[in-house]
Amino acid sequence: MVKVKDLTLPELKEFVTSLGFEPYRAKQIAQWLYKKRVSSFDQMTNLSKEARKLLSEKAQIDLLKLVKVEESKDGTRKYLFELEDGSRIESVFIPEKDWNTLCVSTQVGCPAGCRFCLTAKDGFTRNLTAGEIVDQYIQVQRDVGENRRISNVVFMGMGEPLLNFDNVKKAVEIMTHRDMLDLSTRKVTVSTVGIVPGIDRMAKEMNKVKLAVSLHATTDEVRNMLVPLNRKYPIGEIMAALRRYPADNNRRIMIEYVMLKGVNDSLEDARRLVKLVKGIPVKVNLIPFNPYPGAEFEPTPREQIEAFQKVLWDHNIAAFIRDSRGQDISAACGMLRTKEKACSA
């Protein structure tokens, strides 16, 4: 059974011609899948009944089953999806005044093992396919309605995107193709904890979308403790990769920095961060830590985050405090999945 959301447009064209259809049918099917977001081949009314029947026998549209939705008072919606193998992943819809963002997962669990991350505590199961990544967008867009179009996608959910490079690249191609989801490449962001070969490959193969790097520390000693992969790709190597990356002031690299009380939030850390990013076009997002039951870290007080931010601005580094959304629901990444797993145990 062919999963059509796994297919790029050329692959979809190859598939439909293998069934005896004219090549132009691929664009028609893509329009039904990505513009009208149908869930059944029977809804594709400009195809003959025979064609729809054959497609239903040979192909599959939806890959995710919606298990639960939680909505915050600020409008944030958190989704728990189940995959065909019974694994579960999360997606988050974040409405803003002028745009709407979707945070998608790229893996079931995560192999990066970041110490402060709830998803990491559940281990790693497998990579998501391109279709499973794309279907998160389709399913959430159906749920929120066409009057709230999702314009921005961030690959910052469960998983390390650059350890699933080929499927992420394919998902981005489907999302940004004008005959498919037709998102602007400038509105798609791929985040990594610092997989240096992946950053270098992204520079060559996927540099039209934005790059975000989850740094979270300014010394290897602290980062080794927070992000185990730092032992393989230390800060110096990551910064060297960012200097090789084709960024500029119109398309800056985002540095993600979770603020942990007494761990990485000193003014000395801020000054070290200034030195680390010197000469690299960056924007720094300071992220207040989202505590969860059993977390070993505490959030940095607001006044300390603002003092940290001031050091960066004083050195002409754009720094923003990315206030957490959905605080009244399962806000931390992995929390909804963990909570539902506990409930069903």
- Band of pLDDT at residue 119, cut at 50, 70 and 90: confident
Count of Cβ atoms closer than 10 Å to residue 203 Cβ:
16
Residues 56 and 69 in one domain: no
d(CA 213, CA 193): 6
- Band of pLDDT at residue 333, cut at 50, 70 and 90: low
3-state secondary structure 213-266: EECCCCCHHHHHHHCHHHHCCCHHHHHHHHHHCCCECCECEEEEEEEECCCCCC
- Tell me: is residue 290 an annotated ligand-binding position: yes
Residue 338 predicted with pLDDT over 70: no
Residue 66 predicted with pLDDT over 70: yes
Residue 76 predicted with pLDDT over 50: yes
pLDDT of residue 294: 86
**First-last CA distance in the chain:** 32
Residues 234 and 264 in one domain: yes
C-alpha angle with apex 102: 8 to 61, nearest 5 degrees?
A: 40
CA distances from 320 to 15, 192, 213, 281, 283 (A): 46, 19, 15, 15, 8
- Tell me: is residue 216 an annotated ligand-binding position: yes
d(CA 239, CA 210): 16
- Tell me: is residue 159 an annotated ligand-binding position: yes
| Contact assessment for residue 3 and residue 63, using Cβ atoms and an 8 Å cutoff | yes
- Tell me: is residue 236 an annotated ligand-binding position: no
Count of Cβ atoms closer than 10 Å to residue 149 Cβ:
11
Q: Of 60, 92, 109, at which residue does a domain stop?
A: 60
- Band of pLDDT at residue 339, cut at 50, 70 and 90: low
d(CA 228, CA 195): 12
DSSP three-state, residue 287: strand
Q: How many domains does the chain have?
A: 2
Residues 28 and 74 in one domain: no
Residues 19 and 78 in one domain: no
pLDDT of residue 343: 46
Residues 42 and 72 in one domain: no
CA distances from 291 to 70, 297, 298, 334 (A): 18, 7, 7, 12
Which one, of 281, 269, 266, 264, lies nearest residue 317 by Cα? Answer: 281
Residues 9 and 127 in one domain: no
- Tell me: is residue 110 an annotated ligand-binding position: yes
pLDDT digits (tens, 9 = 90+) for 164-195: 999 999 999 999 999 999 999 999 999 999 99
Q: Of 60, 76, 101, at which residue does a domain stop?
A: 60
Residues 40 and 95 in one domain: no
- The β-bridge partners of 256 are 214, 285
Residues 43 and 72 in one domain: no
Residues 88 and 138 in one domain: yes
- Tell me: is residue 114 an annotated ligand-binding position: yes
What amino acid positions are annotated as catalytic residues?
Answer: 90, 333
pLDDT of residue 121: 79
pLDDT of residue 345: 44
- Tell me: is residue 215 an annotated ligand-binding position: yes
Residues 131 and 159 in one domain: yes
- Angle at which helices 302-314 and 267-276 cross, to 10°: 40
pLDDT of residue 335: 56
Which one, of 197, 193, 199, lies nearest residue 216 by Cα? Answer: 193
Residues 13 and 29 in one domain: yes
Residue 292 belongs to a domain with what CATH number? 3.20.20.70
Q: Of 19, 39, 60, at which residue does a domain stop?
A: 60
Residues 46 and 115 in one domain: no
Which one, of 135, 147, 236, lies nearest residue 180 by Cα? Answer: 135
Assigned token pair, 330? 């399962």
| Contact assessment for residue 222 and residue 263, using Cβ atoms and an 8 Å cutoff | yes
d(CA 19, CA 277): 53
**334: containing domain:** 65-344
